[in-house]
Chain A
Amino acid sequence: MRTPRPFSLDDIVIGRSPRMQAIFNFAKVVSRSDSSVVITGESGTGKEIIANLLHHTSARQHQPFVAVSCALFSETLIETELFGHERGAFTGAIRDKPGRFEMAQGGTLFLDDIDDVPLAMQVKLLRAVQNRTIERVGGTREIGVDVRVITGTKRDLRQLVDEGTFREDLFYRLNVMTIALPPLRERLEDLPQLIDHFVARFARARGLEVPGISPAVRTALARYSWPGNVRELENACERAVQLCSCGTIRTGCVAARILFGAPGPQALPLQVEVTAAPPELPRSVSLDDRLHEVETNLIGWALRASGGNKSRAAELLQVKRSTLGDRIARCGIATASPELSGGHDESEAGCTLSD
């Protein structure tokens, strides 16, 4: 069982690479539909973030988003997890328990690691997705479920079908649309933006001044292969922020594995062309930029919290309605119906593509 992280469109950094921009644009189209979606990508590429994005920009956004990893359960447990059980269905079933399908009623169910679902369970899943009804374990009545199903997989389902470990009928039912997330090593041009985003996020979460990042560290991070993808990058940034004690993240704050690579058949990529370090000066901080950022974030929060009602948002921020209008115009916040960009410039919006 997994508790979904509170999701905010503001947390998203998609990245500027053409591949990620294409995915972002495709996600906009997909979120308008109600069809099943398969999100493929290696571990840590951000499948759950994209599922969240699709849900929170769809017509179902005010209904529940339920995420569950199918890899976490044994064959019998997964059935009760997804479909629930009736009291007395098995030893220990002391009360009725709704499953994930029922909990997602009206909303979106994200089934991650669908490639780990055993064949026997796939039949039941197919029935649920196809007939939009489920039956609790030990129950006899059919329960209608209005749920959009999004699935995540790290393996190619088509290939699993060919190998006979994934049902073809279920594959076609789930795979109406596919979003394929690239591994981080194939979009290294997004690395600087992601690093800056994570470092700033962790520093602010700890109430610290956002540290600088030395060119040597940027070089080291750029030549690492990131097998754990954005999740690994996120953790590396968290570690660096935690360890940084001098205001600039330097090589000492980065894990040895990333700096020097894992010993293996590949030659250790230690030869670096790093430009001479610039003379150390206290980093300047733009007060105006920082205040503008705070203002924009707070106004965005109030508008979301008030469902776009500016009078209510003004109350939340303890300013006059007219003042809020001026500030919104000054910050350039779009207040039309919440689009995918969450009211932000798309090139800046982005997805922390780690789940």
Chain B
Amino acid sequence: MISRDQVDSVLERIRPLLRSDGGDIELVEVIGNTARIRLTGRCANCPSAYMTLHAGVERVLRHEIAEFEQLVAV
């Protein structure tokens, strides 16, 4: 089981990049080893952002947290 803090601390490192582009990433909830996130701000409206950021953020989370399983964008 991963904690919300673990996921948040990784997201916190990704946020500056997104925020400087007018977007952001919100951690909705952590269930088991899965995290649900929401892309907000400019990212939410960009058709390309979902693919890129979802894939990229998931990869970072898997790399940083061994038990991490899945990232779901809602």
Contacts and interface: CB of A to CB of B under 8 A. Distances in A.
A92 to B, nearest CB: 46
Contact of A244 (B14, B48, B50, B56): B48
B36 interface: no
A245 B53 contact: no
Interface in B26-58: 42-43, 45-50, 52-53, 55-57
Contact of B17 (A270, A276, A280): A270
A340 B29 CA distance: 61
Contacts of B14: 260, 270
A294 interface: no
Contacts of A220: 17
Interface string B1-44: 00000000000011011101111000000000000000000110
A250 B46 contact: yes
B17 A252 contact: no
Interface in A210-265: 214-217, 219-220, 243-246, 250-257, 259-260, 263
Nearest to B39: A252
A255 B47 contact: no
Interface residues of B, number: 27
A259 B45 CA distance: 19
A254 B55 CA distance: 12
A252 B49 contact: yes
Contacts of A244: 48
B20 A260 contact: no
B72 interface: no
A263 B61 CA distance: 10
B48 A253 contact: yes
A76 interface: no
Given A243-B48, A251-B52, A256-B55, A268 B60 contact: yes
A253 B63 contact: no
A251 B53 contact: yes
Interface string A252-291: 1111110110010000101111111100100000000000
B37 to A, nearest CB: 14
Given A272-B17, A274-B16, A259 B22 contact: no
B60 A216 contact: no
B59 A252 contact: no
A252 B63 CA distance: 20
Interface string A41-65: 0000000000000000000000000
Contacts of A270: 13-14, 16-17, 60
A220 B57 CA distance: 15
B52 A259 contact: yes
A262 B69 CA distance: 18
Given A252-B43, A256-B52, A256-B53, A272 B20 contact: yes
Contacts of A263: 59-60, 62-63
Contacts of A219: 17, 20
A255 B51 CA distance: 9
5 contacts: A256-B57, A259-B56, A268-B60, A274-B20, A276-B20
Interface of B: 13-14, 16-18, 20-23, 42-43, 45-50, 52-53, 55-57, 59-60, 62-64
Given A243-B48, A263-B60, 15 more contacts: A219-B17, A246-B45, A250-B46, A251-B23, A251-B52, A251-B53, A252-B49, A252-B50, A252-B52, A253-B52, A260-B56, A268-B63, A270-B13, A270-B60, A274-B17
Interface of A: 214-217, 219-220, 243-246, 250-257, 259-260, 263, 268, 270-277, 280
